[in-house]
Chains A and B, each alone.
Chain A
């Protein structure tokens, strides 16, 4: 078939309108709430020009691309320990444009996970890795029939998941082994 400019064969609009509930209800772009993308006539409910400043009860890290701390911010899990030092360095030294910024934050995440596992062991309340992984639910969710014989593409890399899952635990185990004095 030549690549000509004729319209392709498709069902007619009348046919689609009869078959598909609501077909064409938003055909007119004026009915589409995000058209145009930028609008200045929307009512938001805000009764301020700039929101009041949320009290900064402890120093809050921020991107160096921001001129100041934003008026509102989350306060979950403040920076602490070695992971906090890595994250603080990432925020204070590198902009969001630098790969180092994000790679350091990923490193901070891994150090955080390892540190949390170490803390849980030290506190005598080690993480219940099996329960936290959710695998105990497998028995209710047809693990074999769900996975095999269905052409799933993700089966090619599913064997890697336990390594990602257990990586921090293996690191903690290795650290504990290496801490033992030789000859014991």
Chain B
């Protein structure tokens, strides 16, 4: 870089720019005082890198979720503290971290900056961003969510029942299933901690699980990831186990949600891993329709997982429950049944095949 280039790209103190900037939920583990410099580039951003960006055009996401959970309305010119991340959301967007600090997209309301690759037909174009630079520490080093991850526990906590909820696809009712299971476990007198092992950094699902009675909620952001799309499997497994360790500490039961459907690479890889399988007490499968429920149960059994029941959006209708009962040799539970105090005993009584 020549002298002029060094001048143009030298780190800038960031306080003035950060004043009034919205800090997105995906960056909630980052204390604001750690953000000391703006690193304008050129740069090759990595997933998890923190950035300051300005909204240049409003699109699909017209709000950004703050660390508090409040959704702040956006306007052109607003400055946002975000994290770069890849997104895999079949009902919304696919997006990849760009190779440069050029214009990109607000690809998730939880505060993910990325560049759109594809979108569901029901989506509008994403909200557009102009990155002002990555955010660095006092030494000019780019900060990444991984710098703020929970550390490994010095020793494994005592084993507690771990219930995993996975499903056919996005919007199959996984989070609702998890939340109602949490209600049931709570009603049965258990201290429940919830976590989301994969997905995209956003508060919606975590807040739902918290509102259902989970004493604590964790997700992959607590393990240093803005999202889990394209995270290599060993790292994802390690992060998941770390989250389960932290969740288990002080809990009587853990409810863990795995995002997207069984056709998603990270979801499938994680569910097929021996390390995760050894930690599970049982799997609840949330499906969008009865046939998907039957397919999911078969898939999980072939993967050697102890699937104990089905639920999901199809159970909202009597017809869906009746159809599924004819296809599946497992309990088909609607949300109100999951919320009963005896749910743990009911699930434990199901013989896993």
Genuine A/B complex: no
